[in-house]
Amino acid sequence: MAKVPASDEALASITAGTKDPAHMDMLEAADELALLAAAIAHHDKRYHGADDPAISDAVYDQLVARNRVLEASFPGLVRADSPSERVGSPATVGFGKVQHARPMLSLNNGFSDEDITDFVARVRRFLSLDNGDELALIAEPKIDGLSLSLRYESGCLTQAATRGDGSEGEDVTANIMQVDGIPKQLAGTPPVILEVRGEIYMDRVDFLALNEAQEASDGKLFANPRNAAAGSLRQKDASVTSGRNLRFFAYSMGECSSEIAPTHWDFLATLTSFGFAVNGLSARCLLVAELLETYKAIGDARATLSYDIDGVVYKVDRHDYQTRLGQVARAPRWALAHKFPAEQAQTIIRAIDIQVGRTGALTPVARLEPITVGGVVVSNATLHNEDEINRKDIRIGDTVVIQRAGDVIPQIVRVIADHRPPDSAEYQFPLFCPVCGADAIKPEGEAVRRCTNGVSCEAQRLEWLKHFVSRDAFDIEGLGARQIEQFSELGWVTVPADIFRLHDRQEEIATLDGYGETSIRNLMNSIETRRTIGLERFIYALGIRQVGQATARILALHYDNLERLLTAIAPAANNEAAAAELVEIDQVGALMASDIITFFLAPANRDMVIDLASEVTITPPDRPADDSPLSGKTIVFTGTLAAMSRAEAKARAESLGAKVSGSVSTKTNFLVAGADAGSKARKAGELGITVLNEDSWLALINV
C-alpha cells in the first residue's frame, strides 16, 4: 500500500508524475495512483467544498490527466475511489448517481394462502401450462434490509449501488469496499460482466451493540436493524461503514454478459461458488402446498434467526419462464412476496387530527400514546376516512389495538370497548376544511370527504407541490418536502414553474438558515438538471387525480408530446372525441378519462401547465426499438391462442412497441385471431384490417 501523506500541506504539494507508464511496474503505479487519488480529492474539497482552491486549474488538470494515463495503462489498478469517476462534481454533496443497467424491481405482495394460490394459477395461465406441466418455484426468506446491486467486471468488484428509484441509485462503492462479507474478487470463472443483487442487512446483536455505542456517545439512535444498515451504508466517511458489521445475502441478477444458469436454483448455487453468501433456508417447491409449508417453516424459524425477515419470496425457477413472464410496472410477474402477519400492540388515542391531501381528501390521523411495535416507536396511525371511524366507532380516549407491517403506516385494528372512558363522545367529523375553511363534501357512495377549494386551499397546494418534486416526479435533489414548505410559506413557490425561477431569488435564499454559497449552487444545479424532463414524469408530476406513473406513461406514449395532448383536450376541441380517444387506449377507463379531461379543461390548470412548459424542455417518452414491425401499431387480440395466453401475447406486443386495444376500429392495424374468433374478426374483415392467424402472429414476433 502506498504511504499517503496525510497533512494538507503534503497533499497540496503533490504534482503530476512524468515517468513513462511503459517503464513502471504495478507497485510503482499503484503508489502513484493512491497519491493522485488523495491529492485530487483534497483539491476537490478545497475547490468545491471550501471555495478555496490551492492550485491553478491547469495544475489540477495535469493531476487528472496523469491519473487517466496511469489508469489506462494499468486498468486492473483503477481504484474504487478513482478520481476519474467524480472529477468536476462537488465532493461534499451526497453520493454520485448510478444508472442501473437493468432496472432494480420491487415485489408484489401477497398475504393470504389464497393470494399464493392465485399467484401460481396466474403464472400457469400466463405460460399456458397444462395441468401435467411442472412449475418449480423457489421459496426464500425476504430479508429486511436494503437492496444493493454489485457490478463485477472480469470478476472484480467495480461498482456498488443502492436501488434508488429502481432506474437510478446511489454510488456506494467506497463504502461497500469496507464490507467484509462482500467479495471484491470473485472465485471461479464468472462472466465478464456480472451484476449481482441482494440485500445488505445488519444482525440484531450488531444493531443493539451499535445503539448502545451511539447512546454512550450521544449519537443518533436507530429504530431497527434495517434503519441501522441504511444509516451505516450511507456514510460519507467509508471508515465508519467499515466498523458497522454489515452483511449481504445475494439473491438475483442484473446485467450479465453470458448465461450462467438455466434456473434460479442453479444460479444461487453458482453464486455460492463465486464466493457469495446465499440464504440457506431457501427451498425448491413444485406445489402450492410446498410453498406454504416452507412459508410456515421459515416463519417458525424467524425468532431464532440472527437477522430480521419480513416474509418469504416465491420465484419462478426457470429463467426462460421468468423472461416470458416479464414485469408489470415495477414488479416481476414471476415473483411474489408472501408477507408475515403484522405485529400488534395496544395503546390509547390521545387526539384525532385531520390532514388535507393533494386531492383535497380529509384524512383523519390518530395521535397515539407512543408504543413500541415490532421494534419501532409508533405515535400516529391512519384512520383512513370518515366511514372507517364510524364503522369502528373510534373515539378520542379509546384504547385500541394497532398493527404495523413493514413500512406500512400503522393501522387501528379495533377498539377495546371495555376500556372506553364513561364520558367519551362519538367523534364528529368536520364538515369544513380545517385548513382553508371551505366546504368539505362527501359525494353519495364515496368514503372520502374532500375540501372543495382545489389548489386555492393552502394544504392542497402544498401537498401538490410536494408531489411535484417527489422521487417519481421531478425528483429535484435538495428540494424536498421541507424546502417546499419553507419556500411556499415565503411565497417564493406557489406554482411548479416558480421552482425554475428560483435562480432569481438566490440572494433571498442566502438569508435563510442553512444556506451557504455551496448549497445554493448545488440547489441551482439540481434544478437546472431537471429543466429537461421526460413527458411521462411531467404528466405524473401534474398530480392529476387517478393518474399514477403507469397511466402517465401510457398517456405519454399515446400523445408523444405535450402540444398534442393540449390540442386534443382543449376548450375548443371536441371533448367527446377526446374522451373516446382516451377510452380507446387500453387500461384507461371512462372515469379516469373524465378526470383527465376535467383537469386539462380547467383554465387555471392549463395556465399552470403552459407556464411550466415554458420553463422546461420536455423530451418524448422512450419507446421500445422502432425497428420492430409492431412499433407504433395498434393491435387487437381475439379468440384463443394455443401457444401463449392472452396476457403474454399482450405483454409481448407492448414490449415491441405496439398499443393493444380491446376493440376493433379504423385505427386498428392488426387483428390477431385465435381459435373461435367471433364478431371482432368479422368487423376487421369489413373494415379491411389485416387479420393474422396464430402462426403469422408467432412469425411476426419471431417465435
Q: Cα(670)–Cα(689) distance, rounded to whole angstroms?
A: 6
Q: Whose CA is closest to 509, among 494, 521, 525, 497? A: 521
Q: Whose CA is closest to 107, among 297, 314, 280? A: 314
Q: Whose CA is closest to 531, among 470, 617, 467? A: 617
Between 330 and 545, whose beta carbon lies closer to ligand IVH?
Answer: 330
Instruction: Give the amino acid at 591.
Output: L
Please measure the distance between the N-terminal and C-terminal CA atoms of the chain and give it in whole angstroms.
55
Residue selected from 251, 274, 474, 487 as contacting ligand IVH according to rule CB under 6 A = 251
**In sequence order, what DSSP letters do the residues of 101-123 get, joined into one string?**
SS------EE-SHHHHHHHHHHH
Residue selected from 142, 333, 461, 553 as contacting ligand IVH according to rule CB under 6 A = 142
Go through 488-499 and write b for each residue having 16 or more CB atoms within 10 A of its CB, e for each that does not: beeebbebbbbb
Between 70 and 268, whose beta carbon lies closer to ligand IVH?
Answer: 268
Q: Cα(194)–Cα(154) distance, rounded to whole angstroms?
A: 8
Q: Cα(609)–Cα(309) distance, rounded to whole angstroms?
A: 45
Q: Whose CA is closest to 429, among 453, 447, 406? A: 447
Residue 408: phi and psi, rounded to 5, are: -65, 145
Closest chain position to ligand IVH (CB): 147
Instruction: Note whether 322 binds ligand IVH by CB under 6 A.
Output: no
Stretch that binds ligand IVH, among 91-99, 139-147, 514-522, 683-691 (CB under 6 A): 139-147
Residue 154 exposure: Cα atoms within 13 Å on the Cβ side: 2
Angle (CA) 445 450 456, round 5° = 150
* Cβ contact 279:140 at 8 Å: yes
**How near is the Cβ of 199 to ligand IVH at its closest, in Å?**
5
* Cβ contact 170:96 at 8 Å: yes
Segment 6-35, which members bind ligand IVH (CB under 6 A)? none
Between 182 and 535, whose beta carbon lies closer to ligand IVH?
Answer: 182
Between 105 and 261, whose beta carbon lies closer to ligand IVH?
Answer: 105
Instruction: Note whether 277 binds ligand IVH by CB under 6 A.
Output: no
**How near is the Cβ of 306 to ligand IVH at its closest, in Å?**
15
Between 105 and 692, whose beta carbon lies closer to ligand IVH?
Answer: 105
Instruction: Note whether 337 binds ligand IVH by CB under 6 A.
Output: yes
Q: Whose CA is closest to 277, among 244, 242, 312, 247? A: 247
Instruction: Note whether 107 binds ligand IVH by CB under 6 A.
Output: yes
Longest dimension (CA), the chain: 90
**How near is the Cβ of 328 to ligand IVH at its closest, in Å?**
12
Residues 143-182, one symbol each (x = binds ligand IVH by CB under 6 A, - = not), give x---x---------------x-------------------
How many beta carbons lie within 10 A of that of residue 603, not counting itself?
A: 8
Instruction: Report, as residue numbers or ranges, the catalytic residues.
Output: 142
Between 107 and 569, whose beta carbon lies closer to ligand IVH?
Answer: 107
C-alpha grid cell for residue 452?
372543495
Segment 177-216, which members bind ligand IVH (CB under 6 A)? 199
**How near is the Cβ of 175 to ligand IVH at its closest, in Å?**
17
Instruction: Note whether 253 binds ligand IVH by CB under 6 A.
Output: no
Q: Which residues pair with 327 in a beta bridge?
A: 332
Between 277 and 579, whose beta carbon lies closer to ligand IVH?
Answer: 277
Residue selected from 105, 401, 438, 601 as contacting ligand IVH according to rule CB under 6 A = 105
Residue selected from 17, 110, 191, 332 as contacting ligand IVH according to rule CB under 6 A = 332
**How near is the Cβ of 644 to ligand IVH at its closest, in Å?**
22
Instruction: Give the amino acid at 133.
Output: D
Q: Cα(117)–Cα(120) distance, rounded to whole angstroms?
A: 5
Using only C-alpha atoms, the chain has a radius of gyration, in whole angstroms, of 29
Between 151 and 163, whose beta carbon lies closer to ligand IVH?
Answer: 163
Residue selected from 149, 211, 252, 551 as contacting ligand IVH according to rule CB under 6 A = 252
Strands 634-638 and 659-661 turn out to be parallel
Residue selected from 335, 473, 562, 700 as contacting ligand IVH according to rule CB under 6 A = 335
Between 140 and 475, whose beta carbon lies closer to ligand IVH?
Answer: 140
Stretch that binds ligand IVH, among 137-145, 259-267, 343-351, 366-374 (CB under 6 A): 137-145
Stretch that binds ligand IVH, among 141-149, 347-355, 633-641, 665-673 (CB under 6 A): 141-149
**Residue 502: DSSP 8-state:** G
**How near is the Cβ of 140 to ligand IVH at its closest, in Å?**
4
C-alpha grid cell for residue 405?
407491517
**How near is the Cβ of 337 to ligand IVH at its closest, in Å?**
5
C-alpha separations of 592 from 402, 485, 552 in Å: 34, 30, 12
Residues 54-93, one symbol each (x = binds ligand IVH by CB under 6 A, - = not), give ----------------------------------------
Instruction: Note whether 308 binds ligand IVH by CB under 6 A.
Output: no
Q: Cα(266)–Cα(280) distance, rounded to whole angstroms?
A: 14
Instruction: Give the amino acid at 635.
Output: I
**How near is the Cβ of 381 to ligand IVH at its closest, in Å?**
22
Q: Cα(245)–Cα(179) distance, rounded to whole angstroms?
A: 7
* Cβ contact 91:107 at 8 Å: no
Residue selected from 84, 89, 106, 506 as contacting ligand IVH according to rule CB under 6 A = 106
Between 20 and 407, whose beta carbon lies closer to ligand IVH?
Answer: 407
Stretch that binds ligand IVH, among 138-146, 619-627, 628-636, 691-699 (CB under 6 A): 138-146
C-alpha grid cell for residue 458?
393552502
Stretch that binds ligand IVH, among 11-19, 126-134, 329-337, 524-532 (CB under 6 A): 329-337
Stretch that binds ligand IVH, among 70-78, 260-268, 332-340, 412-420 (CB under 6 A): 332-340
For cell 405519454, name the residue. 556
Dihedral of alpha carbons 552, 553, 555, 560, sign: positive
Phi-psi category of 384—alpha, beta or left, where left has phi over 0 and alpha has psi -120 to 50? left
**How near is the Cβ of 625 to ligand IVH at its closest, in Å?**
23
For cell 408484489, name the residue. 108
**How near is the Cβ of 294 to ligand IVH at its closest, in Å?**
12
Stretch that binds ligand IVH, among 101-109, 225-233, 648-656, 682-690 (CB under 6 A): 101-109
Instruction: Note whether 123 binds ligand IVH by CB under 6 A.
Output: no
Between 250 and 535, whose beta carbon lies closer to ligand IVH?
Answer: 250
Instruction: Note whether 140 binds ligand IVH by CB under 6 A.
Output: yes
Between 147 and 668, whose beta carbon lies closer to ligand IVH?
Answer: 147
Q: Cα(587)–Cα(583) distance, rounded to whole angstroms?
A: 8
Residues that bind ligand IVH (CB under 6 A): 105-107, 140, 142-143, 147, 163, 199, 251-252, 313, 332, 335, 337
